[in-house]
Amino acid sequence: MSTADLTLNQRVRVALSREGARAGFPSTPRWFVPVLALVAIWGEVGLYIDGWYHWHYVIDTFFTGPHLIIYSSGLTGVAIFGVVALRNMWRGFPLWRSVPDGYQLSLVGCALFPVGGVSDYIWHAIFGFERILPIWSMSHMLIFFAAALIMSGPVRAAWRSRRTRLTWPETIATGMVLSQLTFSIVYTNPFVDVWATGYKPVSGAVYLEELGTLSILVQAALLTGFVLLLLSRFQLPFGALTLMVGANVALVYLLNFHLWTIPLAIVAGLALDEIRWILKPSAVRPREYRMFAIVFPMVIYFLYFLYLKLTTGVWWEVYVWTGMIVGVGFLGYLLSLLVVPPRSGLVESAAVPDAKER
């Protein structure tokens, strides 16, 4: 009996079974990834507008414009996955294989997102609205986690395939995942709070300098580590780094309106795309991979401090801000060792016992 001959009751049983009537996974519709990329942009813009809203106003209601953007984008993503899953379950695929291979955790995200939204409303109704670091509210974290699972579906699907190149829609969706991660620690972002600019403060200079250097290290580790992970598996289209770095900083702009950061990020991204095209870093080219890992954060923060030095000035001691440029390069090198470990002859020989040990 074919799946077309199944009754509704039989189709439901097949969908809820472990194996289902059809093997493998359904194919990915051509429109699927581009639409998910647009939904991801929609959600991230709403997220950063909401961050600006929290940054500049005292929130005392759940029903705000930014919340409408965030929840409408998330529910749109849930609806898209729901339609695709129901269609494939009708065709005989079980629930866990009702979406293309690699998108299974996105189904989990679709289940968690409405739960996070309802729990967020209940949380605010009971405990009120956060005034300091609202991002770390448990309900907000649940929404973040759910959205990240949904948006990261395209790159997970690509990772499970045999392809070595990311398409532009996959790259855009992945870039929005990066911006989601950036937002969670936006209070330690040197493109939001430019600690090194201007004149040395009368009091608290040491603490501001320490906080500023820490924020650079944290953001450099996040951005560099994310890009190195992608380059360990994929070849990115030319312009991908311009998109990721530029979009990341452009969204951050919505928080404190430092307009100069956007052209700086675009220039840095273009330079890094050119360097990547020359070096062609990958896991099978470890020397070039580690060179790029060093250069990647150094280019960004060299341009960062160069701009500040030529405009507002840098009140940090010269050995501190110049040392930071070198320091993030060393940090990039260490991250490259974690993502693509060096080959170890000792480990390889240990895996095969010596003849005397047998």
Asked if the model's pLDDT at residue 350 lies above 80, the reply is no
What band does 57 get if pLDDT is binned at 50, 70 and 90?
Answer: confident
Residues 252-256 have a mean pLDDT of: 90
pLDDT band at 13 (very low <50, low <70, confident <90, very high): low
Q: Is the dihedral of CA 211, 212, 215, 220 positive or negative?
A: negative
Identify the pLDDT of residue 236. 96
Per-residue confidence band for 10, with pLDDT thresholds at 50, 70 and 90? low
- Place 125 in a pLDDT band, splitting at 50, 70 and 90: confident
Q: Please check the confidence at residue 6 and state whether its pLDDT lies above 80.
A: no
pLDDT of residue 343: 80
pLDDT of residue 347: 44
On whether the CB atoms of residues 275 and 300 are closer than 8 A, the answer is no
pLDDT tens, position by position, 35-53: 999 999 999 999 999 988 8
> Is the pLDDT at 346 greater than 70, yes or no?
no
pTM over 0.75: yes
Q: Residues of the chain with pLDDT > 70: what percent?
A: 90
pLDDT of residue 56: 78
What's the pLDDT band for 24 if we cut at 50, 70, 90? Answer: confident
- The residue that leads in pLDDT, 220 or 18, is 220
pLDDT at residue 253 tops 80: yes
**Letter for the amino acid at 327?**
G
257 — alpha (psi -120 to 50), left (phi > 0) or beta?
A: left
| pLDDT of res. 129 | 82
Write the pLDDT tens digit of every residue in 300-341: 999 999 999 999 999 999 999 999 999 999 999 999 999 999
Helix/strand/coil (H/E/C) assignment for every residue in the chain: CCHHHCCHHHHHHHHHCCCCCCCCCCCCCCCHHHHHHHHHHHHHHHHHHHHHHHHHCCCCCCCCHHHHHHHHHHHHHHHHHHHHHHHHHHCCCCHHHCCCCCCHHHHHHHHHHHHHHHHHHHHHHHHCCCCCCHHHCHHHHHHHHHHHHHHCHHHHHHHHCCCCECCHHHHHHHHHHHHHHHHHCHHHCCCCCCCCECCCCCCCHHHHHHHHHHHHHHHHHHHHHHHHHHHCCCECCCCHHHHHHHHHHHHHHHHHCCCCHHHHHHHHHHHHHHHHHHHCCECCEHHHHHHHHHHHHHHHHHHHHHHHHHCCCECCCHHHHHHHHHHHHHHHHHHHHHHCCCCCHHHHHHHCCCHHHC
pLDDT tens string 284-297: 999 999 999 999 99
In this predicted structure, the answer to whether residue 242 has a pLDDT above a threshold of 60 is: yes
**pLDDT higher than 90, residue 17:** no
Q: Which region among 98-102, 137-141, 192-196, 342-346 has the lowest average model confidence (pLDDT)?
A: 342-346
351: confidence class by pLDDT, cuts 50, 70, 90: very low
Alpha-carbon dihedral sign for residues 133, 139, 145, 149: negative
Whether the pLDDT of residue 230 is over 80: the answer is yes
- 282-301 burial string, b = 16+ CB within 10 Å, else e? beeebebbbbbbbbbbbbbb
> Mean pLDDT over residues 55-72, rounded?
85
To the nearest whole number, what is the mean pLDDT of the chain? 89
Residue 355 pLDDT > 70: no
What pLDDT does 214 receive? Answer: 96
pLDDT of residue 349: 41
